[in-house]
Structure 1
Amino acid sequence: MRRTLCIAIGLLLFSASCKESVKKEIGTAPVELKIEPEAIQTAYDLNKFELIPLEFNDLSLVGAIDKLIVEKDKIYILDKEIAKSILCFSIAGKFLFKINSIGDGQGKFSKPFDLVLFDESLQILDIIQKKILVFDLEGNYKHEKPIPFEEQVVNFFPLNQDFTAFHMDGRSFGSEETEFIRVLGNKDSTTTTQGVSDIGSTDAYQIPIEFSKHKGQVSFLHAWTDTIYKISEEGIEPAYLLNFGANRLDEKVKKLPLMDMRKFIMENPYVFNAANLVENDKYLSFQWARSAEGFANSEEQKYVSYYNKSTGRLVHFPLSENWLGNVNLQGPLYGTEDWDKLSKEIRDELIKENGGVLSGDLDTGNPILIKYKLEKE
């Protein structure tokens, strides 16, 4: 049976139609974060990690992790394509409940396209039935609310009780420029602000985590835009600019027809931001990818970067060839790979650290989470 390893970074994790259209982007100069490939390191604190095997039974099978949220003593997993469910586990990996309300009508969804935790509730996006379903943190259905416009949505995030930000699906615009973010009032569905312009076809590369909320402030990073925005009902402010240098996928490339764009990526060097934005008191984290000679000629390399907000230090760590040996991680929130690809030394040490109790659990087929921290600076 295939055994899957999932990685969670504890450092970041535990801690009706529109009536009007208004665009507001605040003119504050963003902080530039320069990504320097030569500064890439492999520094993790190997003395501070733990394994969290997810309990396996007939109800708790995780087919894929499309999004993972850790909140207090619970782990919430979105599996939108295989289990078509939200699964909840304790922080120790014990299965608690599953939301699998497939169907039409009140309290049902076609499939869970996105999951947001907000104000002691789980909010699930159904773009087919054009609604957001609200459950409490124990999985009990509370109510639902319609998406108040006809255009397609990629994902969403409540700014507060009164306003919600929607990421509009830009793919219908193709190589034309479009505004990805629309902020609506929840009571009257009025658009208060919109913005974050880029080429619509870049939405072909959808990333699970584009919104991040910390201390009441919502941030947004769309793959390929290279700008981290602060979003509120009053405006959209560019906060950080990601400088990837000469091989960044620029406007000219992004305007190519989708197949031509993919052909370019196969044959030419590239670097692009891949979102997966996470923020806590100390760090801002995001993911990016590069290829030295094009995807067809050299293996794509993926990295996770951490910006220390107090010191201004920016470090970049590889998601392959790291402290886990041959395991390929998938960013600041989670990764998927076979347990068997861990080196024997690491396998033996992990089992030893956990009193040998994991040896049987590894055959269940459910993921194992690894919580770890960065090396001390």
Structure 2
Amino acid sequence: MKKVLGIFIMLLFACTSRDKNEIPTLSVDLHSSDVSFEDLFSKIEIIPLETSDSCLLVDVEKIVHVDSLLYVFDSRRPALYVFDEKGAFVRQISRWGDGPGDHLLISDFMVDKNQQTIGLLSPNGYMGIYDLCGKFIRQDVLPAKPNYYAVASLSPDRWVFWSCVREDEDGITVVGKDSLNTVSGFGRNNRILDMGSLNPFYEYHDNVYFATAYQNTVYKLTEKGLYPVYCWDFGKDGINDEMLQKYRLIEKV
């Protein structure tokens, strides 16, 4: 739901002229109920996913639609399931285990359209690489970090990762796809605030955007840093600086 709403907002701002130095603010009344899905979208379709012993979903964490296929990540299994646009089960990518191509824990996945591969990210610092048919290719060891929670393809030769780390460490790491070396790092923030959303990346029109759970600014990501593109204003129902300061104090208690 958050991603669908984010796409609509980006389209809205793309059609609105503004000063290049001005960051647009989207004011939202959380108590308003006058807007329906039909007012926002021309088509709404419900796709029942096939249910069987081969694709019994427990806890769907993320869904990505690429080239007429639905990639559904179940964080409890953990595994990546592929369905067609009619909801028919196509294949499972990776299984629970410690053999080649297996995983004991998966925190995120991504479909790399540039390299025509699928990456399954382990929070322990490696990523299993598969072809689009689900065949295991290799396991990439990532630069040393306390954890890895989210991944996105930033460009044809760059991945970007997000980690929940201390305030004096870079939470965002840009890594070369071939070298597996760190290209750049940035995005320092309080980890108590970061833990509200363990997957802060959003991809739209070949760009990657970043937004945390408790802060209202949405950023565009490049390998050089974060660039604000718009912010939310929830009025009296929003989280203000005083509330954020109280959240920050939790870790010190």
Counterpart in the other structure of 1:152? 147
Which of 1 and 2 has greater Rg? 1
Counterpart in the other structure of 1:183? 174
Within 5 Å, which residues of 2 pair with 1:331-342? none
Gapped regions of structure 1 (runs ≥ 5): 1-5, 14-26, 261-377
Q: Is the 8 A contact 2:78 2:106 kept in 1?
A: yes
The DSSP-based 3-state class of the residue aligned with 1:45 is: helix
Give TM-score scaled by structure 2 length. Answer: 0.79
Give TM-score scaled by structure 1 length. Answer: 0.55
Within 5 Å, which residues of 2 pair with 1:168-247? 168-170=163-165, 173=166, 176=167, 179-186=170-177, 187=179, 189-195=181-187, 197-208=188-199, 210-247=200-237
TM-align CA RMSD: 3.1
Relative CO higher for 1 or 2, CA cutoff 8 Å, sep ≥ 6?
A: 1
CA drift of 1:143 comes to 2.1
Q: Is the 8 A contact 1:101 1:108 kept in 2?
A: yes
User: CA distance change for structure 1 residues 36 and 160 in 2, over 3 Å: closer, same or farther?
Assistant: same
The DSSP-based 3-state class of the residue aligned with 2:246 is: helix
How many angstroms apart in 1 are the aligned matches of 2:5 and 2:26? 23
Structure 2: which amino acid aligns with 1:213?
Answer: E
* CA distances 1:98-151 after superposition (whole Å, capped 9, x unpaired): 1233223532221221111112322110123x2111112222212221111132
Q: How many percent identity over aligned positions?
A: 22
Q: Is the 8 A contact 2:143 2:182 kept in 1?
A: no
Counterpart in the other structure of 1:52? 47
Counterpart in the other structure of 2:119? 123
Counterpart in the other structure of 2:136? 141
Gapped regions of structure 2 (runs ≥ 5): 9-19
The DSSP-based 3-state class of the residue aligned with 1:201 is: helix
How many angstroms apart in 2 are the aligned matches of 1:246 and 1:224? 15
Q: How many residues align?
A: 233
CA drift of 1:244 comes to 2.4
Counterpart in the other structure of 1:326? none
* CA distances 1:147-201 after superposition (whole Å, capped 9, x unpaired): 111321221212123222121213xx3xx56543222334261332412x43211
CA drift of 1:223 comes to 1.1
